[in-house]
Amino acid sequence: MARLDPLSLITEAFTSFLFGRAETTRSPVRTSTGQAQAVYLPTAAPGLGDSGVIIGREVYSGKGYIYDPFQLYGQQLPAPHWLVLGESGNGKSALEKTYVLRQLRFRDRQVVVLDAQGEDGVGEWNLIAEELGITPVRLDPRAALDQGIRLNPLDPSITTTGQLALLRTIIEVALGHGLDERAGFALKVAHSYVNSTVVGRQPVLTDIVEQLRHPEPDSALAMNVDLEDVRSWGLDVALVLDRLVDGDLRGMFDGPTTVGIDLDAPLTVFDLSHIDRNSIAMPILMAIVGVWLEHTWIRPDRKKRIFLVEEAWHIINSPFVAQLFQRLLKFGRRLGLSFVAVVHHLSDVVDGAAAKEAAAILKMASTRTIYAQKADEARATGQVLGLPRWAVEIIPTLTPGIAVWDVNGNVQVVKHLVTEAERPLVFTDRAMTESSASEPPPDSGAEARTRATTLDAIDEAYERETESRALSFDKHATADETVA
């Protein structure tokens, strides 16, 4: 105990003589945790900023949830790519569509959608495309035979290296295994010969098949082998490509690329709903579209581009297609590309043959949105994505329209909001689809005017409706700041 100075001792003795020595004690306060929580100031995790598009509202804080990968890239996001997970019927489709519509309000945005779902002969994005005055690019083997849409893997807009890589991927997907050195050599020399000799037109797959069947003598001399050896090396390759030319997959890839695909439009929809989802045509088609877009659509300009792929497990679950898209994602990241992959179950991709490639693509997706899943699926998802335990536990209890958002470690539970202006375009039923399909397509001269009018109408309605919500968000934010 510290010694008191003489003056303090005299003062204490005098006070005790007058009033006596008294000690006060405070009675303990008994309370519950429910009552004691009022002692602690309310806090909420920081948001992502106020630049971008409104997604909805944070469930716990009530604040507006705004997200834009292009605004966050470099500071809060190491990569602008996005993974959307969840079982059907929980709001994935509504989120995709409203996100695209809201991004298109920025005039420097462009979006390409690979639409793999639909009913009654049209894709799920058909109504949105037509409302914007855009004709979907419908890839259908039956229609392609009757002068339909074709995409040429040997399109001159694709580099020679890109063409050869794409041909290898097509063949490897069809075979189910990689090409050995001999088959790879036969393909390489056939491709090189076709590119150097075909003039005045686009080289096509028929040229490659013909050269594989009848290789040039120079190709055998280069390896000091018999010509028959080179022919035998390329036999399996020729048989696979023949399926695309004259077999069950003919009609979509066996001719020059169709003229008139508008890649300068704000929205381009590739309708893949006529393709059997379980056939090898789907991953082959996605590989061709991805490489073709890499060389024709992604450019070093100021545009910000979004590439949205439904049924993306066709890409991630194939080691050969996944390798192509890995390069696309790395390349596109430097040129303002945000890749959005939509899948139902993560187990579909992490347990497949392409587990290594899938992990690499998932690692590049810095944004993850998880809708309701069953408990065991949620635990597996949480383990793969590194979600906190509380988020994993809440995923099975989520109701439609509510999802867990993980933006580079910033984890929030968000309720997606749909405006009245967006509702007819987002929640489509069979009757809506049939009525829109029965209407004649807009003429080319009116497409630009229709597109501008629709976007302006959505803009006005969106701004009116979100203004009141923004005021509500501001009230919540002001209350938080006042308490803090």
pLDDT in tens, 305-332: 999 998 887 777 778 888 888 888 887 7
- Residue 457 tokens read as 């109408």
Position 309 in a domain: no
Residues 354 and 360: their CA atoms lie apart, in Å, by: 10
Taking the model in full, what pTM does it have? 0.77
Residues 110 and 297: their CA atoms lie apart, in Å, by: 10
Query: What pLDDT, on a 0 to 100 scale, did the predictor assign at position 451?
Result: 52
Of 343, 258, 268, whose CA–CA distance to 305 is shortest?
A: 268
Are 130 and 446 a contacting pair, CB within 8 Å? no
SS3 content of the chain, % helix, strand, coil (to 5): 50, 15, 35
Lowest mean per-residue pLDDT among 32-41, 122-131, 246-255: 32-41
Q: Which helix (H) or strand (E) holds 339?
A: strand 337-343
Lowest mean per-residue pLDDT among 179-188, 317-326, 336-345, 414-423: 317-326
Is the pLDDT at 179 greater than 60? The verdict is yes
- The better pLDDT of the pair 402, 317 is held by 402
Position 190 in a domain: yes
Is the pLDDT at 162 greater than 70? The verdict is yes
Residues 272 and 270: their CA atoms lie apart, in Å, by: 6
Query: What pLDDT, on a 0 to 100 scale, did the predictor assign at position 472?
Result: 52
Position 368 in a domain: no
Residues 65 and 406: their CA atoms lie apart, in Å, by: 12
Residues 443-472: b if buried by 16+ CB within 10 A, e if exposed: eeeebeebbeebbeebeeebeebbeeeeee
CA 63 → CA 76, 230, 324, 407, 412, distances in Å? Answer: 19, 66, 40, 16, 11
pLDDT digits (tens, 9 = 90+) for 365-379: 999 999 999 999 999
Is the pLDDT at 439 greater than 60? The verdict is no
CA 448 → CA 99, 112, 249, 313, 453, distances in Å? Answer: 22, 18, 35, 34, 9
Return the C-alpha torsion angle 395, 397, 403, 409, nearest 10. Answer: -40
Is the pLDDT at 51 greater than 60? The verdict is yes
169 Rama sector, left if φ>0, alpha if ψ -120 to 50, beta otherwise: alpha
What's CA 418's distance to the chain center, in Å? 20
Position 254 in a domain: yes
Return the C-alpha torsion angle 318, 320, 321, 324, nearest 10. Answer: 150
pLDDT band at 65 (very low <50, low <70, confident <90, very high): very high
pLDDT band at 19 (very low <50, low <70, confident <90, very high): low
Show the domain range for 178.
153-264
- Residue 182 maps to which CATH number? 1.10.8
Is the pLDDT at 208 greater than 90? The verdict is yes
Alpha-helix runs per DSSP H in 125-234:
126-131, 141-145, 160-175, 181-197, 205-213, 217-223, 227-233
Position 227 in a domain: yes
Is the pLDDT at 433 greater than 60? The verdict is no
Structural domain total, the chain = 1
Position 240 in a domain: yes
Position 143 in a domain: no
Is the pLDDT at 145 greater than 70? The verdict is no
Position 194 in a domain: yes
